[in-house]
Chains A and B, each alone.
Chain A
Amino acid sequence: QKEVEQDPGPLSVPEGAIVSLNCTYSNSAFQYFMWYRQYSRKGPELLMYTYSSGNKEDGRFTAQVDKSSKYISLFIRDSQPSDSATYLCAMSPTGGGNKLTFGTGTQLKVEL
């Protein structure tokens, strides 16, 4: 069993839809949770960074962490074609600047 599980998709939604992306994990030591966006043939860029359980909102993006269920989510509101990318969850016991364990990534396509 992988430490971090993520549905690879692809996920196709119409423009304006609310997108829900999820990851589950097995290592209870993970305390820091991140969502990265990766465009084709590019490096990942950090979207959201959260510590422990709870919600965090930034513009159209909301990250949720439920440590009791070992489950994290990323919601994208009013999705745009420019949101089309692969979304990777990542986790660490000690902080985002240290060793990260990534999910496989979910490929998202937002269609006009």
Chain B
Amino acid sequence: GAVVSQHPSRVICKSGTSVKIECRSLDFQATTMFWYRQFPKQSLMLMATSNEGSKATYEQGVEKDKFLINHASLTLSTLTVTSAHPEDSSFYICSASVAGGGSEQFFGPGTRLTVL
């Protein structure tokens, strides 16, 4: 099956610093990648949708200047949390789908961000 990786799996940073999370589709070309965040015992909340070569589409309430998304190639998307604060601590998960949407999006294993 299709595999999506994320790096790092866990990161701890100081308040005010920026953190970059990578999402890669390992064995397929992903025209669309999604970024979610998940708080403990809560659902996945979609943050943004990115299409390769285009600007990301952010969900209402998500600060695009704080959560920078780049989808420079068909196998790589990055999420940069700028000037991170403790309230940004969460589990960030990416997913990827192929052209036309299809029937499935494949999820990465997630990145646990802790901001001190």
Asked whether, in the complex, the Cβ of B108 is within 8 Å of the Cβ of A46, the reply is no
Chain B residue numbers with a CB within 8 Å of A8 are 41
Asked whether, in the complex, the Cβ of A98 is within 8 Å of the Cβ of B41, the reply is no
CA distance A46 to B107 in the complex (A): 9
Set A36, A44, A94: member contacting B101, Cβ < 8 A: A94
Asked whether, in the complex, the Cβ of A97 is within 8 Å of the Cβ of B43, the reply is no
Q: Report the stretch among B14-22, B70-78, B81-89, B90-98 that lies at the interface.
A: B90-98
- A30 interfacial by beta-carbon distance below 8 Å: no
Asked whether, in the complex, the Cβ of B100 is within 8 Å of the Cβ of A97, the reply is yes
Asked whether, in the complex, the Cβ of A88 is within 8 Å of the Cβ of B105, the reply is no
Asked whether, in the complex, the Cβ of B102 is within 8 Å of the Cβ of A95, the reply is yes
Chain B residue numbers with a CB within 8 Å of A49 are 103-104
10 new A-B pairs (CB below 8 Å) besides A43-B6, A88-B44, A102-B44?
A41-B110, A43-B95, A44-B107, A45-B107, A49-B104, A96-B103, A97-B101, A98-B105, A99-B34, A100-B34
Q: Which residue of B lies closest to A49 (CB)?
A: B103
The number of chain A residues with a CB under 8 A from chain B is 25
Contact-residue bracket for chain B: 20 to 34
- B13 interfacial by beta-carbon distance below 8 Å: no
Report the minimum CB–CB distance from B69 to chain A (whole Å): 15
Binding site for A on B (CB under 8 A): 4, 6, 32, 34, 41-46, 49, 91, 93, 95, 97-98, 100-105, 107-110, 112
Set B6, B101, B110, B112: member contacting A98, Cβ < 8 A: B101
Binding site for B on A (CB under 8 A): 6, 8, 32, 36, 41-46, 49, 88, 94-105, 107
Report the minimum CB–CB distance from A4 to chain B (whole Å): 8
Chain B residue numbers with a CB within 8 Å of A42 are 109-110
